Chains A and B, each alone.
Chain A
Amino acid sequence: MKMYDMPDVRGHFGQFGGTFVAETLVEALEELRLVYEKYRHDPEFLAEYAHDLKHFVGRPSPIYHAKRLSDKVGGGQIYLKREDLNHTGAHKVNNTVGQALLAKRMGKPRVIAETGAGQHGVATATIAARLGLECVVYMGSEDVKRQAPNVYKMKLLGATVVPVESGSKTLKDALNEAMRDWVTNISNTFYIIGTVAGPHPYPMMVRDFQAIIGIESKVQMQEMLGRQPDAVVACVGGGSNAMGIFYPYIDVSNVRLIGVEAAGHGLETGRHAAPLTANSPIGVLHGNRTYLMQNEDGQIIETHSISAGLDYPGVGPEHAWLKDIKRAEYVAITDDEAMAAFHQLCRIEGIIPALESSHALAYAEKLAKTMDKDQIILVNLSGRGDKDINTVAGLSGITI
């Protein structure tokens, strides 16, 4: 059988992906593409990356059998890949460690990043501090207000946080602004994109750096249970944690791959962030072609999710491809369903999950009910919920 080998040399996943950028960015992306080609199989680079993941991030992250949750839900057994236990509290750091090592090798003294909830911003600021790089993080001004603790963390770590006032003042606008910075400061700046979107080589490169999640999972499941799970479930905003755990399983055809998007107030209300599940049209944004939430004029529309990390109108092009070839399934979970799953995991397993990851948990619970007791679901618990306690408290009318 032919092994999965996407994307092509120009970053296409079928009709998705590619390099849709202004000419002013083309040379910088070409430089990055060549540098990444050079190092992605370089033993010395990979050894340094592995060393940082082990000693700085704290990998491998464990897999935990959520036995009480499984018993309560009834049906399949739910296992959690504990990315929430990483340094900085989420999977994001796997990628920033990798890209920052590339920045070092390219001799770039300055890194920039976009961030929504602030997790990728914190992960970037963290690695920049460790490597002595100047760090500027772009964040929509609405998100700056909503995520004050993460803004302060980034400042503690020595980063400059720039509130973005344009457009909808959220993640997509932060990405636009970071691109504008990059095109202006190309010679000394490395742009660390946080998800599997953007122009080539970002979707491939971020996937590769996140693939450690799935690589470890395969080994750990074999060790723990002598078999692989029946289904792998992960939340999808841009889709980096999902690509990270899906990618090593793509060629294992009897493992179902399920991406969970944010249905917000419900798909029927239009106030959601689920372009795949809602069958949004295909379009071009942020350097790649993918499914995009847009109006009839091709303007990108505002999205809604309780979880800032899923609040994005597009989705990584590889997810669009996996949907079209039917290798992965995509479903959506509402704000309310995610909140219920959040509280359930807190109370039953003693783990406070991120609101993003709570979407994956909520779907895993639904799926488990349809399964036999000996069937296994592996959920990517992509982050911890400390950052969300203000949001959750607010919903209960409590101010912390």
Chain B
Amino acid sequence: MSRIQSTFATLKQKDKKALIPYITAGDPHPKHTVTLMHTLVNSGADMIELGVPFSDPMADGPVIQRASERALLHKVGLRHVLEMVQEFRKTDTDTPIILMGYANPIEAMGAESFAKRASDAGVDGVLTVDYPPEESAEFIQSLHTHGVDSIYLLSPTTEPARIQLIVNQASGFLYYVSLKGVTGAANLDINSVKERVAEIRTLTNLPIGVGFGVRDAETAKNVAKIADAVVVGSRMVQTVEQSTEENLISNVSALMRELRAAIDS
């Protein structure tokens, strides 16, 4: 059983939902990333989604774009992100880490080489935004060979036949994008999410995470009622952006505790 699967299984036994915060590796400075990851876990994260900086983040809104730009000022690339995960794993061997990013840094490293190095570093899942299932069969094979889960996005416009196609290649969990648009675009419409999640559940037993548009504790609470995991990205990154070096850890920690409490209530 993969670390992601066992995390979901444990949560289910406790009748709890997963909280998955997103931060961009290297934002605001590479020296903070591993500390921030531990902070996220200590203040309630069940898994961490770690963004790999990319020069052209086409599917991201301004908040996460700026996070990528801040990280790139310090030349943080995929190999550095893997080193950060390795460092994190020295003291945390339980919390699943999911890398989220774009195809080109992976292709530059070589897909097979990346899969092996990610697995060695302690990465549990990979979500490659611009690798739809038709273009990624070989890559997914490499990930699975090295015991890394392949996380896929589902959108409000994904047709049932296509959901089936994606489900066949996905492992770990599915990530439902709750709105049309880029990350951090607007508040999600809980009723339409509810309908879609129910529809997806008829096609798969994989856990379903919901993200894009979870901007506050209230939304997180509502999403937790219908999904297996709540992903909080832009709001988390915004908190990082608005913090100083002195209050970065306490601000992130405070937001996490608020979200955790809302989800568990």
Contacts and interface: CB of A to CB of B under 8 A. Distances in A.
A268 to B, nearest CB: 22
Given A21-B132, A183-B182, A300 B157 contact: no
Contacts of B72: 299
A26 interface: yes
Nearest to A165: B62
A292 B53 CA distance: 18
A284 B129 contact: no
A28 B157 contact: yes
Interface stretch (B40-48, B103-111, B225-233): B103-111
Nearest to A10: B134
> Which of A27, A184, A299, A301 gathers most chain B CB within 10 Å?
A299
Interface stretch (B4-12, B85-93, B148-156, B252-260): B148-156
B207 interface: no
A294 interface: yes
A281 B104 CA distance: 11
Contact of B154 (A20, A23, A281, A296): A23
B173 to A, nearest CB: 15
Contacts of A282: 107
A211 to B, nearest CB: 26
A60 interface: no
A166 B69 contact: yes
Contacts of B129: 22
Given A10-B134, A19-B132, A20-B103, A299 B54 contact: yes
Contacts of B106: 298
B158 A27 contact: yes
Interface string A341-369: 00000000000000000000000000000
B77 A298 contact: yes
A18 interface: yes
Interface stretch (A89-97, A172-180, A256-264): A172-180
Contact of B78 (A167, A294, A298): A298
Interface string B185-205: 100000000000000000000
Interface in A18-41: 18-24, 26-28
Given A24-B59, A172-B56, A18 B135 contact: yes
A26 to B, nearest CB: 6
A284 B55 contact: no
A interface secondary structure, majority: mixed
Q: Which of A24, A176, A179 has the most CB of B within 10 A?
A: A24
A24 B55 CA distance: 20
A24 B155 contact: yes
A284 B69 CA distance: 19
A298 B105 contact: yes
Contacts of A18: 134-135
B185 to A, nearest CB: 6
In this complex, the member of A172, A179, A187, A284 whose beta carbon has the largest number of chain B beta carbons within 10 angstroms is A284
B77 A183 contact: no
Contacts of B103: 20, 283-284
B237 to A, nearest CB: 15
A300 B56 contact: yes
Contact of A23 (B102, B104, B108, B153): B153
A184 B182 contact: yes
In the complex, the 8 A-B pairs of residues with the closest C-beta atoms, listed nearest first = A297-B77, A298-B108, A298-B105, A184-B181, A27-B157, A22-B59, A23-B153, A284-B103
Interface of A: 10, 18-24, 26-28, 166-167, 172-173, 176, 179-180, 183-184, 186-187, 281-287, 292, 294, 296-301
Given A24-B180, A186-B157, A284-B102, 13 more contacts: A19-B135, A20-B103, A23-B154, A23-B155, A26-B158, A27-B155, A183-B181, A283-B108, A294-B108, A298-B54, A299-B72, A299-B77, A300-B104
